[in-house]
Amino acid sequence: MTSNNDKKGGTAMTRPPAVPEVTGPGETEPDGATRADRGAADTSRERVGQVSPERDEGRQAAGEHEQGRSNGAGDAAPDAAPPSGAKHRAQTSVDTRFERVLEALRAQIRSIEFSDGLPGATEGMTARNDVLSQLDDYVLPRVRRPDVPLLIAVAGSTGAGKSTLVNSLVGEQVTTTGVRRPTTNSPVLACNPADVGWFSEASFLPTLPRVRQQGLAMPGKDGMLVLAASECMPEGVALLDTPDVDSAVAAHHEFAAKFLDAADLWVFVTTSTRYADARVWEFLQVARDRDTSLGVVLSRVPRRGHAQLLDHFGAMLEANGLGNATRFAIPETDQISQERFTSNVADDIRTYLADVAGDLAQRDLVSRRTFIGVVDSFLTRVPELTKQVETQVEVGRKLSLAVESAYSAALQRAATSIGDGSLLGGNLLARWQEIATSGELVRTMRLRNRRKAEAAEQETAARVRALEQAIRDTLEALVVSTAERAAEDVAADWDTIPGADALTERAGGAQPSEGLGQRAREAVKEWQASVQEMISADGATKRSVARVVTIDKEAIALVLIIELLGYAATRAAAENRSAPPPQRLLKGLFGSEALRSIGKRARDDLYSRISAVLDEERARFDGTLAAAKLPGETDAVQLYQATYNLEIAR
């Protein structure tokens, strides 16, 4: 493809000679009909590089601003070396400050993780991957190497003739055509041999494997780019035949989107029967929103209704904000040989691309327009991504709050039950009354000689052990039931959030964890022993020795525990006046002040041990949340800051 300014290259995309349009077999051209239709199409076309005066001034100002940044003190880096053999664009300095801002934005976006299945995840991961892909595949490579070849992506609908068009534009067959063509799986990029080095580098689409074309065998597999070097292509321009944007295989049109994100200019091809499809307009609207340089081709246009189809397609372009896109039409034709058009049906497209390829200023304008459009799109796309981050942050906050609320409420319920006397019923109350009303309790606590003490211990040992076990069973049941209800509350709250049921299942659901009963039993038993140690440490034993009184720590501990469990608030305390109340017995031993102190310490110790058991139980929910890798609250703030930095730097 020889251009006005390029001396190297073959015949592709040169301005074609004037050749009368060839009609289809057996067809005649009605006077005024087809020519008028063609004339109407010609007058409706606008060059992609041409923009309104207002936008052009803005683009020029942006370009001048870019040059100003590049020349800033300390910001300019040594000129990057051009791709091997390339003689297509003037060298420009790399704006290292702008590159640093983009790198910071990329790093921040890359650090964001979404929890799959929860609100905001699908949209967030799609937006995250789209922005990262375009930063890696398009923006950063062009910031680092401003002189890279211009990439023209030929994209569009299934069966639109994209591969035939590419072969026709190149001037030789570089890709095969047909409904089941390899292009669907392995896209083909045609470029001058001097530019193959750039497209082979990891800087271009770094995550994509590639292979050089061997004839037309197109080696490779799904997701592999085939590089076709052709002397027909001019230096500095490449044509890319992409997968179908409306492929039945989702991976194929996602692959197509990846290539379009890396292109400087889109030539979007659709047919007269598929141009109204939603998938077509999804891609065209992306080009509009990013202000991508764009040419639109309506192919396979029948002669009957030609004008009406073009008018309707043009009206749809206008309605979708694409009225300025350059438009082309390819009539329905069977004049194809060696998988290229033999007629002049693609001459307008070839002329248009030859103008772009042959004029460095036009080429730079097209490239700069797309580049600025993509960078500008980040100013809206990143905040949209941030909204999804905020959605997940809010989901994480609700999930975490559900855990915190459930287990905080559980501890509070346990504390209330311990102090209000509600635990003193059934077997525990019966065991207490049995030992308290018989007078054995006082005898056990205070005996004048050791022999009598031993005799009393033998007589009451069974009752004391029974009371001690009843206390242990009651408190153990309290801890277990409290933990069970907390887990049920968390599961119920989590299940109200869409997608969180999977987290509930991962955490073990509403059922208590294995070993809860054993942990509760050990916690209560250790607390009972701790109460006895407090009694010894308090000095009550020493004071009793001074009075020649023997103190049974186990018995006193039982009395203290009954007092802590709120005996004074029970109905039994009011009705049974034959036994001395625990508080009166304890005051006689400790005194009021010491009793309050030891009572508080014993109560706080019990709460602490119950809290520890509950913490072990909630750990499975906390661990599940941590493993979900929900974004943190600072992630959204940092994304907004990175967007602001980009807006300042651009």
- Tens of pLDDT along 107-157? 999 999 999 999 999 999 999 999 999 999 999 999 988 888 999 999 988
Whether 532 and 617 map to the same domain: the answer is yes
Answer yes or no: do 162 and 311 share one domain: yes
Domain presence at residue 230: yes
Query: Residues 101-115: pLDDT tens digits?
Result: 999 999 999 999 999
DSSP category for residue 569: G
Query: Inter-axis angle of helices 121-134 and 360-419, to 10 degrees?
Result: 150
Residue 304, domain member (yes or no)? yes
Residue range of the domain that includes 401: 396-631
Residue 591 pLDDT grade (very low, low, confident, very high; cuts 50, 70, 90):
low
Same domain flag for 428 and 351: no
Verify that 350 and 404 share a domain, yes or no: no
Contact 144, 80 (CB under 8 A): yes
Judged on CB neighbours under 10 Å (0-12, 13-18, 19+), 319 is: exposed
Both structure tokens of 112:
């964001």
DSSP 630: P
Q: Please tell me the predicted confidence (pLDDT) of residue 387.
A: 96
Domain identity same for 485 and 569 = yes
Residue 594 lies in a domain: yes
Q: Do 389 and 639 form a contact (C-beta atoms < 8 A)?
A: yes
Sign of CA dihedral 541, 547, 552, 555: negative
Computed from CA positions of residues 629, 631, 634, 640, in that sequence, does the dihedral angle turn out positive or negative? positive
pLDDT at residue 502 tops 60: yes
CATH number, domain with residue 232: 3.40.50.300
Identify the domain boundary among 332, 358, 384. 358
Give me the number of domains the chain comprises.
2
Do 79 and 93 contact (CB within 8 A), yes or no? yes
Going 353 to 357 to 358 to 363, the CA torsion angle's sign is positive
Is the sign of the CA dihedral 30, 32, 34, 37 positive or negative?
A: negative
Residue 504's H or E segment, with its range, is: helix 501-506
273 plus 416 within the same structural domain: no
Mean pLDDT of the chain: 78
Percent of the chain beyond pLDDT 90?
45
Residue 167 sits in the same domain as residue 57 = yes
Q: Within a domain: residue 248?
A: yes
Q: Taking 80 as the threshold, does the pLDDT of residue 29 lie above it?
A: no
Quickly state the pLDDT bin for 582 (edges 50, 70, 90). Answer: low
| SS3 per residue for 172-219 | CCCCCCCCCCHHHCCCEEEECHHHHHHHHCCCCCCCCCEEECCCCCCC
Residues in the chain: 650
pLDDT tens figures, 335-356: 887 788 887 888 899 999 988 8
Mean pLDDT of 187-201: 91
Residue 364 lies in a domain: no
The closest alpha carbon to 362, from 329, 326, 322, belongs to 326
Structure tokens at 44: 């409706």
pLDDT for residue 537 is more than 70: yes
Asked if residue 317 belongs to a domain, the reply is yes
- How far is it, in rounded angstroms, from Cα 361 to Cα 56? 14
Look at residues 214, 138, 149, 230 and name the one whose alpha carbon lies nearest to residue 182: 214
More confident residue, 206 or 98: 98
Instruction: Find the angle CA(472)-CA(594)-CA(565) to the nearest 5 degrees.
Output: 25
How far apart, in whole angstroms, are the C-alpha atoms of residue 13 and residue 184? 24
Is the pLDDT at 185 greater than 50, yes or no?
yes
**Contact partners, residue 314, CB within 8 Å, separation at least 6:** 44, 323, 327
Q: Do 454 and 596 fall into the same domain? A: yes
- pLDDT higher at 214 or 70: 214
If asked whether residues 204 and 292 sit together in one domain, one would say yes
Q: What mean pLDDT is predicted for residues 177-196?
A: 74
- For residue 15, the model assigns a pLDDT of 57
Do 179 and 320 share a structural domain? yes
| Beta partners for residue 227, in sequence order | 189, 212
d(CA 131, CA 322): 23
Angle (nearest 5°) at CA 38 between 291 and 335: 100
Write the pLDDT tens digit of every residue in 458-488.
656 777 788 888 889 999 999 999 999 999 9
For position 423, what pLDDT does the model report? 82
Boundary of a domain, candidates 331, 358, 385:
358
**596 or 301: which carries more pLDDT confidence?**
301
Q: Quote the distance between the C-alpha of residue 635 and its chain's center.
A: 12
Whether 69 is in a domain gets the answer no
Strands 265-271 and 210-212: unpaired
CA separation, residue 8 to residues 86, 150, 230 (Å): 10, 16, 12
In a domain, residue 120? The reply is no
At residue 531, what is the residue type? V
| pTM, two decimal places | 0.72
Q: Which of 184-198, 556-570, 585-599 has the lowest mean pLDDT?
A: 585-599
Whether residues 339 and 438 fall in one domain: no
Strand partners, 271: 299
Give pLDDT, residue 645.
Answer: 95
Partners of residue 239 on adjacent β-strands:
152, 190
Last residue of a domain, one of 358, 385, 412: 358
Q: Are residues 211 and 291 in the same domain?
A: yes
